Chains A and B, each alone.
Chain A
């Protein structure tokens, strides 16, 4: 079946360092979304990317969608302790806008 792979599984950084997580789908996606889940919390929507090659920025966060619409990345510049949590990518299969297939998530730990 359709799979969305995400790496790394876990990342330790010092506060102020950059962080990147990568997603790769086995098939073309109609769109990809990113969510953040704080420890003990539920996923919270960050952004949706729809167009091939799309790049969006939210303050220190930069999201990219690959040209083939099969991969995506989230880059955080100068991490802060408030960035701690698990970041999930979630892709919608091509041809459908309905369900989301979640990646395994990347757990980010930021040390002050």
Chain B
């Protein structure tokens, strides 16, 4: 149980285009999901906390108009990188908490590797 999927697993796009990444909790409900980005051999940097039915909470330094987050249902959160540029190339990972477990553990998706040309 507690599986999180992400789609796509990788994407290559041209500079200036927008890219949408989906994060789904497959076998549990997630009122809260988290979006991270990870550069090679570096740690996970929390970008934002996505709450079902309300606006996302962005971390300091993360542009909310650049990284649009929507958490429309208890099993789906999306991250849209708008007008992507090469510096946005990174590994984007989502995670979700299974509130039904009463535990703070986060279950991570497999990640999406974004390359902007």
Contacts and interface: CB of A to CB of B under 8 A. Distances in A.
Contacts of A85: none
Interface string B33-45: 0101000011111
A31 B43 contact: no
Given A43-B44, A48-B104, A98 B32 contact: yes
A14 B109 CA distance: 32
A33 interface: yes
Contact of A33 (B43, B105, B109): B105
A54 to B, nearest CB: 14
- Interface SS of chain B: strand
A33 B41 CA distance: 20
Given A1-B60, A42-B93, A42-B108, A99 B49 contact: yes
Contact of A31 (B36, B45, B104): B104
B110 interface: yes
Contacts of B44: 43, 88, 90, 102
Interface string A100-112: 1111110100000
5 contacts: A43-B44, A88-B43, A88-B44, A98-B32, A102-B44
Given A45-B107, A90-B44, A100-B106, 20 more contacts: A1-B60, A33-B106, A42-B110, A43-B44, A43-B93, A43-B108, A44-B108, A45-B106, A48-B103, A48-B104, A48-B105, A88-B43, A88-B44, A92-B104, A97-B104, A98-B32, A98-B49, A100-B34, A100-B46, A107-B41
Interface of A: 1, 31, 33, 35, 41-45, 48, 88, 90, 92, 97-105, 107
